[in-house]
Amino acid sequence: MVVLLLFSVISWGIILYKFWTYRGIEKQSATFLEVFRKSTKFSEVQAVCPSLGSSPLVGMFQAGYAELTAQLRHAQPAAASPGVPAPRPTLKSITAVDRALLRASSIEVGKLEKRVTFLATTASITPFIGLFGTVWGIMTAFMNIGAQGSTDLAVVSGPIAEALIATALGLFAAIPAVYFYNHFTAKVKTYASEMDDFALEFLNISERNFT
């Protein structure tokens, strides 16, 4: 029973922590997208990134921006002749920018999923722990009944009822864990979809302005 209560307490701690974290992510992501779409330069977006660090979109943007900046720095055109406008720097590989965004997306999804798998573990094993406790309790109850030499209902019902508490605790720990694991998994899928959309938007802007 102590093990089941421990699983339940940890699960509820994760649930409350994830609710608080995801709420902050949603607010910061909305703010970041608003800044990103209103800005005319990536450097302006980079300036607000430190204040919105919880958003996974910020991590993706910084990875893409770093790759973009590295390529443009290496592709810096030679000085133009007087009176001739300098040629615009161009990207060497838009595919490399895409790979940087994809790698950052995987990292951010991993952060979003952190600790959520413990809920799946809780949902899977706590019913079995509870059932084991019940079986053990019933065995003990019957041994006690045998020792007393009585099968009276008053003698049997108390020990068996106590044994069934373990199953109830197992279900108490498992049911919320199942529900919130599915809830948070759906949330992560939504965030992953938003990151895919952002990556395409970032690539479109990069290709339009630097190729």
Per-residue pLDDT of the chain (211 residues; tens, 9 = 90+): 888 899 999 999 999 999 999 999 999 999 999 999 998 888 889 999 999 989 999 999 999 989 888 888 876 555 445 554 555 667 788 888 899 999 999 999 999 999 999 999 999 999 998 888 888 778 777 777 777 666 666 666 666 777 788 888 889 999 999 999 999 999 999 999 999 999 999 999 888 887 7
Does an H or E element contain 53, and which? none
Specify whether the CB–CB gap between 77 and 87 falls below 8 A: yes
Specify whether the CB–CB gap between 56 and 191 falls below 8 A: yes
Domain-wise residue ranges, the chain: 2-80+91-112+122-210
Spatial CA neighbour of 156 closest among 146, 167, 171, 169: 146
